[in-house]
Amino acid sequence: MLDSHQPRETQRVALVIQYLGTHFHGWQRQKHHRSVQEEIETAIAKILGHHVTLHGAGRTDSGVHAAAQVAHFDATGLIPPHKWASVLNSYLPKDILIKASAGVDNRWHARFSAAYRRYRYTIYTEDWPNLFVTPFSWHYYYAPLDETLMQAALEPLLGKHHLAAFHRAGSKRSHSWVEVQAVECDRSGPFIHIEIQANGFLYGMVRLLVGMLVQVGSGQRTLANFTELWKEQRREEVKHAAPSQGLCLLRVGYPDFPFTPDVWYDTMPKLVFSQESLVNPSATLRVNSQQSTVNSN
């Protein structure tokens, strides 16, 4: 803990945070449940000797992962902003990692200054489960999925739309306008990856959307019906959300991002099929370190 008798100045500190969502009840602090926000706030309090509030760019649900969540807090003390990452990591559990820290202007806000958020959802389509894959994907083996149909369903979502059909009950948001900036659905062997980038997301939006895309890809719902459903805001027909473990908050973008671009490198490599697995059954997957081609402008 820092010496409380030393003079202190307030400094806003931004963090880039990775976490495995498996054992968390989401980002937001809540009574009687483990949350990412509370774990980090507790660590900061141990260092500073008093509580501070951590403000996140997005509130991921229970079980959802983050490759590069962004948050900020106001610190008083002698720790330089760029040192907070290493200091905090020595206090945090192994399922949370601070990738980087930096000082920012006191008007900068992790949530309200953000220009976009990008999520990826991973579906694993092999018949048999894989213990190294299923914690980070939806194991869907009930019917073949056509990723070209799923991509075709995604493309009309580009632009600014009312997306109340993909809005879970319980949200405090006063409107359902979302500006979708980029979408992508691709396949690598048994893995289907769905990426969507928008200025913001409704509560439960990505998981509800993926659940409906799977209905399109499996032939349970037509493209025309899917498009009519969200354009006419028929929320009552959207009943099945995709499981949380397949979803990952990839990154948050800012016009004045306080970190160097390399903070994003390899934040969440795609799970992709390897030809090696045809020869060596133990080599069931490889890591593709190339960045997603989704437009981030």
- Among 61, 74, 95, 266, the active-site one is 61
Residue 236: both structure tokens together: 């009552």
Question: CB within 8 A of 36, min separation 6: which ones?
Answer: 17, 19, 21, 24, 26, 27, 56, 60, 66, 69, 96
Instruction: Please give the C-alpha separations between residue 211 and each of 129, 226, 244, in angstroms, as whole numbers.
Output: 19, 11, 11
Longest CA–CA separation in the chain, Å: 67
Which of 252, 207, 263 has its CA nearest to residue 69? 252
Residue 68: both structure tokens together: 């590069």
Question: CB within 8 A of 139, min separation 6: which ones?
Answer: 124, 126, 129, 133
Can 61 be counted among the known catalytic residues? yes
Strand partners, 34: none
Catalytic residues, by residue number, are 61
